[in-house]
Amino acid sequence: MCGIVGYTGTEAAKDILIDGLKRLEYRGYDSAGVALERAEAASASGCALDIHRRVGKVAGLESELACLDTASTCGIGHTRWATHGRPSVPNAHPHTSCDGRIAIVHNGIIENFAELREELERRGHRFASDTDTEVFAHLIEEAYEGRPADPATGEQAAPGCHDLLAAVREACAHVVGAYGLAAVCADEPGVIAVARKDSPIIIGRGEHGSYVASDVIAVIDATRDVVVLEDGQFARLAPEGITYTDADGAAIEPAVTHIDWDIDMAEKGGYPDFMLKEILEQPRVVRDTLVGRMGPAGELDIDELGLSLEELNLIDRVYVIACGTSYHAGLIAKNLIEGWARIPCEVEAASEFRYRNPIITPSTLVVAVSQSGETADTLAAIRDARIKGAKVFGITNVVGSPVARESDGVIYTKANKEIAVASTKSFIGQVVSLTLLALLLAQVKYRLTVGQVRMLFRELGDTAEQIQWILDTQTDAIHAAAEACCDAHSALFVGRGMGAAIANEGALKLKEISYLHAEAYAAGEMKHGPIALIDPGFPVIAVATKSPVYDKTVSNLKECEARGAKIIVVATEGDEDIREIADHVIYIPAVRDAFSAITATVPLQLLAREVALMRGCDVDQPRNLAKSVTVE
């Protein structure tokens, strides 16, 4: 996703920025840009800023800058992953104030940008992009240069502070949302002002100057002693040093952290593998996927849908088409779409759908789910469905991917780039996005009231903390469960209702990264065949959270216990009775059944990873698998 790098010192800023942006490429982005102070234009009253922006890879920007003969020693750079506004040069960062003398780069989302933009336009500001970020440039400009009176609100004119850091602080006071921000101003050569709220920023001092970045990887060659800025803290970087303040402008002295990771570990954020890093990011994925989705009157806002509410109201059949883990997200969605919106929903492997003759009418909605957005089977199924007259809606993690381009509308999961081959955080982003879609369908069909939708939306948001609780408290239990099954030849994952859908994802995770054979079964189906597999010590991994089918699931587990199975249960916190049949219990917080997939999948991902590590497997790059499956 988006990345920030900035430098001020004695070396060539252009090279340092490009090098840092390349280091941030792994996060995924669609455009890149830099703002460089034009040293040649420097005088006592300031300098000028050169802005260079390109859609596509950093290499393109690098070629453009190669022709630029500059002695600039201060600048900021950015890789953008589109959220508000398509990938384009005007939407790429840096964004500038009206007079071009202030430039900023920003990570995060400004929730109140629409109202801020309206106010700023009323006061005469001209916008050049569709982004939320640009309001920051104009807010800083007003704080720096002075604000005209606003007849609409009766606000008086205010004088400018002519201090970049103070202007950034003032601008932040108006913004609701998340930001990691770096700003430069032509009137203050060599100065970079930095702010942070809910979006990472690190700052470091090296031999040749001062550095800012959204990820330590971008500056690790220059310095290993960094300040990890906290929410509400601000910094002023200059060639000679760095000062820090709080939101009131009072000086502070944040602690310095020494980074002793190597480059490989730094790319992984200090974690031993990408899979763990990505599992730990899941609370953020939930939060980011929900940002801006609830309108002020409690109505859901998914305007990228490409369908009017009237068209949505006519939908009478939904197909979810996808492959692998994305298909499992579809199994969860079926429960929600049928349960809340009362619309029949079928989930099909895209590779099957394309060769069938499914019943499709103009009131059929096909939802194509794909992390990479380029899975060949899913794309072929989209094309087929559109030819047959269906509306197609894509859910993908990759901006501008073929799935996004070829669908009538799209929701982007806010997972950031996923590097481990086994999908983890993308799955959570998909399930949250599909849950939003199910709520929207229920809302337009008047199956749920606005109050119910609002309550469910709030509970959906609570899953972020619930995942965090699992990550914080259950690692020992998961490790013990992994030890209990790592030497097995085969394992069964079982559950009922939502639990059955989750079991599918648990089994896929285990088999693909540990090479231990695993199957998922609806627990009630065990006695119709699979129970024959069970002999003493055979691992049965169950999702048995407190749900309407809890007692039924427990009965099925007793049948397995009676035949000597080793039973590992994902259960609801506080369920002590389950210990009577379970050899190992992993708890998740109590959660509405509809949202249990978002939490109960997390321990199964961690379990698969632990087992794979115990078996000596490469968890990030399992054999025979590719991250994007672009062949049939």
Q: Cite the DSSP H helix spans in 337-375.
A: 350-353
- Number of residues interacting with ligand F6R: please give it, by CB under 6 A: 14
Chain residue whose CB lies nearest ligand F6R: 324
47 is catalytic: no
Please list every residue from 72 through 91 that binds ligand F6R, using CB under 6 A: none
Contact with ligand F6R (CB under 6 A) among 96, 214, 423, 553 = 423
Among residues 429 and 497, whose Cβ is nearest to ligand F6R?
Answer: 429
3-state secondary structure 84-133: CCCCCCCCCCCEECCCCCEEEEEECCECCHHHHHHHHHHCCCCCCCCCCC
Among residues 37 and 418, whose Cβ is nearest to ligand F6R?
Answer: 418
Instruction: Identify which range of 230-238, 242-250, 320-328, 404-412 contacts ligand F6R by CB under 6 A.
Output: 320-328
Q: In angstroms, give the least distance from the CB of 557 to ligand F6R.
A: 26
Q: What is the DSSP letter of 199?
A: S
β pairing state of 234-238 and 192-197: antiparallel
Vertex 388 angle, CA 387 and 389, to 5°:
90
Q: In angstroms, give the least distance from the CB of 77 to ligand F6R.
A: 29
Contact with ligand F6R (CB under 6 A) among 422, 428, 439, 578 = 422
Residue 495 contacts residue 543 (beta carbons within 8 Å): yes
Contact with ligand F6R (CB under 6 A) among 214, 325, 443, 596 = 325
Please list every residue from 375 through 394 that binds ligand F6R, using CB under 6 A: 375, 378
Please list every residue from 507 through 526 that binds ligand F6R, using CB under 6 A: 508, 512
Q: In angstroms, give the least distance from the CB of 81 to ligand F6R.
A: 17
Give the sheet arrangement for strand 539-544, strand by strand: 517-522, 490-495, 539-544, 566-572, 584-588
Q: Cite the DSSP H helix spans in 474-586.
A: 475-485, 498-514, 550-562
Query: Letter for the amino acid at 351?
Result: S
Please list every residue from 359 through 378 that binds ligand F6R, using CB under 6 A: 370-372, 375, 378
605 contributes a contact to ligand F6R by CB under 6 A? no
Q: Could you give the CA distance from residue 135 to residue 393 in angstroms, rounded to a whole number?
A: 30
334 is catalytic: no
Contact with ligand F6R (CB under 6 A) among 31, 210, 282, 326 = 326
Contact with ligand F6R (CB under 6 A) among 1, 2, 323, 604 = 323
324 contributes a contact to ligand F6R by CB under 6 A? yes
Q: In angstroms, give the least distance from the CB of 508 to ligand F6R.
A: 6
Please list every residue from 462 through 501 that binds ligand F6R, using CB under 6 A: none
Burial of 557 (0-12, 13-18, 19+ CB in 10 A): buried
CB-side neighbour CA atoms (13 Å) of 522: 9
Question: Which positions ≥6 away from 292 have C-beta within 8 Å?
Answer: 109, 111, 301
Q: What is the DSSP letter of 156?
A: P
Residue 58 contacts residue 20 (beta carbons within 8 Å): no
Please list every residue from 258 through 317 that binds ligand F6R, using CB under 6 A: none
Active centre residues (catalytic): 2, 627
List residues binding ligand F6R (CB under 6 A). 323-326, 370-372, 375, 378, 422-423, 508, 512, 629
